[in-house]
């Protein structure tokens, strides 16, 4: 079985990105910049944000953290977003989720400009994607596509099953696979007889949010299995996914480990998205001249 080692692939992609960032800095005499907004004290979020900032710095992307107290009101957060939308020095913005109680994610998703949306979560970004005119693609699904491409897993003409219909993973994942000419079935928690679908799939992407939901009996021999699940501390040890991947040896053609599969690809895509936004911003500045 091929291990779809996202950690390794993400290292290669980050090295390539570093060169692209260097060229960007040489051309425009500035670094691309990602601003990460974190509201409140959620300790897991603090770790995720720290990792994102370290990852930015390693490739030459400037990163700035804006910390707001958990007591922050929606209108105060909105003012921050509006200011970042207008700031010419800021290329990408990421509002770390979840937000504390009382704050509305949807407000951010309607307010943040798609030209600043490094996550690709805003309704505007998703609308562009749905219309076949993406500006930025959501990091995790695009990271999965990059992983499949790296390992030369054919997608066109294949039957792909996505398990999970979240707005930020399952639904855009099904869309990206469709755009890559797969025939896609989107399954979810109310799908009867899930196994009947997964057993027919050439590629299964599992983003169900249920620890160890699927195992060998759910996949046909030779399937490609991508596990987006992440259960545990988020710090490596004891982290597992939605798939019992240990059962797949000598059964699947390829599968992702957890950790070290999709997770690192998501961060690499966030960095790539920030550079794409910076390049678009520069093109717009040139057009205005
Ligand atoms: N919280 C957990 N993962 C993510 C992510 O990818 N983006 C944002 N904005 N918040 C998150």
Angle between the 262-288 and 139-150 helix axes, to the nearest 10 degrees?
Answer: 110
Contact 257, 235 (CB under 8 A): no
| Any ligand 1 atom below 6 A from CB of 265 | no
Rounded to the nearest whole angstrom, what is the distance from the C-alpha of residue 169 to the centroid of ligand 1? 11
Rounded to the nearest whole angstrom, what is the distance from the C-alpha of residue 48 to the centroid of ligand 1? 8
Please tell me the pTM assigned to this model: 0.96
Rounded to the nearest whole angstrom, what is the distance from the C-alpha of residue 2 to the centroid of ligand 1? 28
pLDDT tens, position by position, 59-82:
999 999 999 999 999 999 999 999
Of the candidates 222, 232, 236, the residue with the CA atom closest to the CA atom of residue 154 = 222
From the CA atom positions of the chain, what is the Rg in Å?
19
| Any ligand 1 atom below 6 A from CB of 97 | yes
Q: What whole-number distance in Å separates Cα of residue 141 and Cα of residue 123?
A: 16
Q: What whole-number distance in Å separates Cα of residue 188 and Cα of residue 225?
A: 16
Answer whether residue 234 shows pLDDT above 90.
Answer: no
pLDDT tens, position by position, 268-282:
999 999 999 999 999
Answer whether residue 289 shows pLDDT above 90.
Answer: no
Active-site residues: which are they?
A: 52, 96, 119
User: For residue 117, what are its two tokens?
Assistant: 């949306």
Task: State in Å, rounded, how far the first CA of the chain is from the last one.
Answer: 54
Answer whether residue 237 shows pLDDT above 80.
Answer: no
Of the candidates 247, 176, 240, the residue with the CA atom closest to the CA atom of residue 211 = 240
Q: What whole-number distance in Å separates Cα of residue 213 and Cα of residue 191?
A: 14
- Indicate the range of 45-49, 104-108, 217-221, 244-248 predicted with least confidence: 45-49
| Any ligand 1 atom below 6 A from CB of 142 | no
Percentage of the chain exceeding pLDDT 70: 98
Q: What whole-number distance in Å separates Cα of residue 75 and Cα of residue 79?
A: 6
Give the residue carrying structure tokens 């699904």. 141
Go through the domains of the chain in sequence order and give each one's CATH number. Answer: 29-118 (3.40.50.10860), 139-264 (3.40.50.720)
User: For residue 95, what are its two tokens?
Assistant: 């509002």
């Amino acid at each position: 079985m091929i291990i779809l080692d996202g950690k390794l692939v993400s290292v290669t992609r980050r090295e390539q990105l570093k060169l692209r960032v260097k060229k960007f800095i040489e051309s425009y005499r500035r670094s691309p910049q990602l601003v990460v907004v974190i509201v409140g004290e959620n300790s897991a979020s603090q770790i995720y944000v720290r990792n994102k900032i370290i990852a930015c710095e390693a490739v030459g992307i400037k990163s700035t953290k804006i910390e707001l107290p958990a007591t922050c009101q929606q209108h105060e957060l909105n003012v921050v977003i509006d200011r970042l939308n207008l700031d010419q020095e800021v290329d990408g913005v990421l509002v770390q989720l979840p937000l504390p109680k009382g704050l509305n994610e949807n407000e951010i998703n309607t307010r943040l400009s798609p030209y600043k949306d490094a996550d690709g979560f805003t309704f505007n970004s998703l609308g562009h994607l749905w219309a076949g005119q993406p500006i930025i693609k959501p990091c995790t699904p695009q990271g999965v596509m990059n992983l499949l491409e790296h390992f030369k897993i054919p997608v066109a003409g294949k039957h792909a099953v996505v398990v999970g219909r979240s707005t930020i993973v399952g639904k855009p994942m099904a869309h990206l696979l469709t755009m890559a000419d797969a025939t896609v079935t989107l399954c979810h928690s109310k799908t009867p007889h899930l196994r009947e679908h997964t057993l027919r799939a050439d590629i299964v992407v599992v983003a169900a949010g249920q620890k160890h939901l699927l195992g060998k009996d759910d996949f046909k021999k030779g399937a490609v299995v991508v596990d987006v699940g992440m259960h545990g501390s988020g710090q490596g040890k004891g982290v597992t996914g939605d798939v019992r991947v240990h059962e797949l040896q000598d059964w699947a053609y390829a599968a992702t480990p957890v950790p070290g599969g999709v997770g690192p690809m998501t961060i690499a895509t966030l960095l790539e998205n920030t550079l794409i936004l910076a390049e678009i911003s520069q093109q717009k500045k040139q057009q205005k001249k």
